[in-house]
Structure 1
Amino acid sequence: MSLPGAAVRLTAYVGESDVHGHRPLYSEIVHRAHAAGLAGASVFRGVEGFGASSVVHTARLLSLSEDLPVAVVVVDTEDRVRAFLPVLDELGVTGPVTLEPVRVVRYGGRAAPEEAPGEGPA
């Protein structure tokens, strides 16, 4: 897949303990983005944060929070990302969802390591 220079970054903020069915919500978003053929998605776990509830969630040892903030980031063309937005509604994402224009300067998978002469699959 080739990703042109102009793209959009979607960031969906969810709680670590949010679920959809039996799967963490952040994982479900990544799997749905993959199934939709989007260019890429990553999940970033926050160490502290708060949202609409004004409750501060933190990873500090004394508080032992089990609901840390999580950001799911998806990058692709604007049309493809906007077409994915209804999936977030379907999954019940209630945290903020942002879109920012970005410029992709490099995109590509890693090449498979080359085998040394005489070596083959075991």
Structure 2
Amino acid sequence: MGIEGKGKMLKIFLNENTKDGNELLYEKIVQTAFEKGLAGSMVFRGVEGFGFCCEKCRTIHEGLTISKCQPMVIEFIDTEEKLAELVPVLKGMLKTGAMIMQDVDVLFDKY
């Protein structure tokens, strides 16, 4: 399902290794959004950062050495109504991290 015009972007910041039981939380979040029929999502692995995932943690990228606290960002773009339905579900899943929502103008969304 494509959308164009006014929309919202929901971003979730978390640690790559955060789990819900035996399942990686970022995978569970994306699967939940897919099942709820959101327009789409994308997951990004952070190269370096601090905050949002664990107290006093800083990820430093040094060649092939990568921290255990690898930052992740999940983005969803859809209508405000669809994302508003998802937010309470996600709040129930997140124990650490951050979630923001911002206005976007969807200029092109075809597939």
TM-score, normalised to structure 1, is: 0.81
Determine if contact 2:12/2:98 at 8 Å carries over to the other structure: yes
Percent identity, aligned pairs only, is 33
Between Structure 1 and Structure 2, the one with more strand by share is 2
Partner of 2:17: 17
Which AA in structure 1 matches 2:103? P
- Within 5 Å, which residues of 2 pair with 1:61-76? 61=63, 64-76=66-78
Instruction: Find the aligned partners of 1:108 and 1:23 in 2 and give their Cα distance.
Output: 31
Do structure 1's residue 40 and structure 2's residue 40 form an aligned pair? Answer: yes
Taking only aligned residues, the RMSD between alpha carbons, in angstroms, comes to 1.6
Instruction: Find the aligned partners of 2:31 and 2:95 in 1 and give their Cα distance.
Output: 15
Secondary structure of the structure 1 residue equivalent to 2:41: strand
Determine if contact 1:14/1:93 at 8 Å carries over to the other structure: no
Q: Which structure exhibits the higher relative contact order, with contacts defined as CA atoms closer than 8 Å and separated by 6 or more residues?
A: 2
Which AA in structure 2 matches 1:38? L
- Within 5 Å, which residues of 2 pair with 1:78-117? 78-109=80-111
Instruction: Find the aligned partners of 1:31 and 1:63 in 2 and give their Cα distance.
Output: 29
Higher-Rg structure is: 1
Partner of 2:26: 26
Determine if contact 1:59/1:68 at 8 Å carries over to the other structure: no
Which stretch has the larger CA shift, 98-107 or 17-26? 17-26
What runs of 5+ residues in structure 1 fail to find an aligned partner? 110-122
Determine if contact 1:42/1:73 at 8 Å carries over to the other structure: yes
Secondary structure of the structure 2 residue equivalent to 1:100: strand
Instruction: Find the aligned partners of 2:12 and 2:36 in 1 and give their Cα distance.
Output: 16
What runs of 5+ residues in structure 2 fail to find an aligned partner? none
